[in-house]
Chains A and B, each alone.
Chain A
Amino acid sequence: MNIITIEHIAKIYQVGTEEVRALSDVSLKIDANEYVAIMGPSGSGKSTLMNILGCLDTPTKGKYDFTGVNVSEMNDNELAQIRNEKIGFVFQTFNLLPRSTALHNVELPLIYAGIPTVERRERAEAALENVGLSDRMTHKPNELSGGQRQRVAVARALVTKPSIILADEPTGNLDTKTGEDIMYLFNEIYEQGNTIILVTHEEYIAEHANRIIRVRDGLVESDLQVDNRKIPEKRVEQTEEG
């Protein structure tokens, strides 16, 4: 079943009198339980594509069908609800609330979903346990290492049981070893049956996916299946540095 179907999507910005086509004409289909990497140099339109896929932005032209719903003409509040219920975001800069504990950060999407306090707490705790942070729940982001912060962000993305996980350069701010841990975590998530869309410009990271879509100049340059995707190995030593 297709989770994502986009047809002839374009995103055009008006800068002064000039038209800037961030995306010219993109069509894609993404199935459930795919592990897709979107690659492209900066200025290629991959960020715009990611924003549209993540329902943070709407296309100027074309149709976006997400889990059987046409989201290309939704208003801000409807999009917010879709993001809340069906999309889990993981960002390069983690984007945690600095003054809130790890637990509260993970609870946040559930608050906006209106989940009762007790259930909310249980689910947030379970999500943190899932990413191996059961002993860090009451820590604030500045008391956690980079890898731990990203794992809190992953827990926050997973806690609503979304249809897709959208990760934007999730290892960009981490050292290689910590990045590998995060990729190991993503692999686990994928193997549990989740759909992951990974935006990256690093070939090495993209190779973890089973499909790589390359974007250039607002168009899809290539869309290929990966035959031998990289399976990350669990590191024996779980030492973490910022």
Chain B
Amino acid sequence: MKNYLFELKEGLIISFRAIRANKIRSVLTTLGIIIGVWAVVVMSTAVKGIDQAFQTGVASLGSDNLYIDKWAWFNNDIPWWELRNRENIQMEDFEKFKDLAKLPLAVAPTLMTRQTISQEGNKVEFTLITGTNADYVKTTNLNFEDGRFFSQLESDGARAVCVLGYTVANQLFPMGYPIGQYVKIKGKKVKVVGVLEEQGSWVMGDFNPDNQVYLPIGIIHKYFQNETWGSVTINVRAPNSLMVEDVKEEAIGVMRRVRGLTYDQKNDFSVNQQEGLLTNINETIGVIQIAGYFITGLSLFVGAIGIMNIMFVSVKERTKEIGIRKAIGAKKRAILGQFISESAVICLIGGMLGLLLAIVTSLIINQYLPTTIQEDAVILAVVISLITGILSGFAPAYTAAKMDPVEALRYE
């Protein structure tokens, strides 16, 4: 046991000496491992970041929410023309639904339109505008940076008030304080009563609350009726996630009654859920992950071949040294250990440099993805570089270990 330790220490000392003696070669060899480890660490961090971004993005929809819509988000079995031919969901449908549905915590209608919104010289074109009522906040997890959502009175009376998403507010009021100010939507003056807190995730795109404006649904009907998507979506929030299925059952029954469907008629509406979105996203991320690991694994493999190559050269060059060591009593395992530890040290140094590079890269990625390198990435880097070193060093070390001392000593 003691011998192993001494030999290991001797192996490490020799490795550092050999690496120092061949600086340029070592740097070039290590480059392969640096890039390999960098790719693997960045890849795993990025995938984790993408995943996290999607999860939080989708979570902002709320896991307890259902969306009764003319359209199906994930449609595998209903032909698209059937969806198109469905009748629009109207405000009357919503009112009836609201009266009949007993289980939901809250329900709110939404009707979308896209308009240019401006304030003084600043404008945001083609902004997604959601028309809704005061109950909308209860169906979401939105928080306010400033101000409030519009009240029951304001929404029922179709007052000209609005709530701005964080990004929209910043674009319209780069310096000023938006609350109480007026913005213009298609020439109409609308008073800002609230600004939402930043959501941050880019995943939902335009549907991210950051990029939206909220108006009382009455305003939409009054001024933008012909520019809406036509059909109202009914947002339904279950009291808790355990009740989502019950709420869904009830919602389907109630909607069928509202639509006056007989038992042999198909649903002419869809009940959409975040869950479907998550399944889809997880599948996509799974594919990205596999492809990513395969490609980065390949670059690591190329790096490993580089190490193996250079270790063979190193063994050949040091044939005489191997002969000397064997003559004075180095056993096979000592020589084996010496070269494997040399290759492991090269790879470990490369791995650390790759990790360092990955940390720098992650700071850049961090601008787009909510992720940072964590301890597991450090462990990953150490483990893969060590394993790469040991595996790629083994064959050259083995050739060294089984050299004939007489031949090796004669080598010049």
Contacts and interface: CB of A to CB of B under 8 A. Distances in A.
A222 B286 CA distance: 82
Contacts of B6: 111-112, 114
B321 A77 contact: no
Interface in A28-42: none
A99 B21 CA distance: 9
B331 interface: yes
B324 A95 contact: yes
B23 interface: no
Count class of interface residues, chain B? 20 to 34
Contacts of A83: 326-329
A95 B327 CA distance: 10
Main DSSP-derived SS at the B contact region: helix
A122 to B, nearest CB: 16
Interface string B329-341: 1111110000000
Interface residues of A, number: 27
Given A51-B406, A56-B406, A80 B330 contact: yes
Contacts of A156: 328
B336 to A, nearest CB: 11
Interface string A122-156: 00000000000000000000000000000000001
B297 interface: no
B331 A89 contact: no
B154 interface: no
Nearest to A52: B406
B2 A114 contact: yes
B72 interface: no
B325 to A, nearest CB: 7
B329 A85 contact: yes
Interface in A81-117: 81, 83-85, 89, 91, 95-97, 99-100, 108-109, 111-114, 116
B227 interface: no
A191 interface: no
Given A56-B405, A57-B406, A99-B21, A108 B2 contact: no
A114 B6 CA distance: 7
Nearest to A82: B329
A112 B334 CA distance: 8
Contacts, number: 67
Contact of B330 (A54, A89, A99, A112): A112
B246 interface: no
B96 interface: no
Contact of B329 (A51, A80, A96, A99): A80
A112 B333 CA distance: 11
A108 B328 contact: yes
B409 interface: yes
Given A76-B332, A97-B321, A89 B327 contact: yes
B319 to A, nearest CB: 12
Nearest to A108: B328
B245 interface: no
B320 interface: yes
Interface in B362-412: 405-406, 409
Nearest to A168: B409
Contacts of A54: 327
Interface in B302-326: 320-321, 323-326
**Which of B2, B325, B329 has the most C-beta atoms of chain A within 10 angstroms of its own C-beta?**
B329
Given A51-B406, A97-B324, A112-B6, 4 more contacts: A83-B329, A99-B18, A109-B329, A114-B3
10 contacts: A80-B326, A81-B329, A84-B330, A85-B329, A95-B323, A97-B321, A97-B324, A100-B17, A111-B6, A160-B329
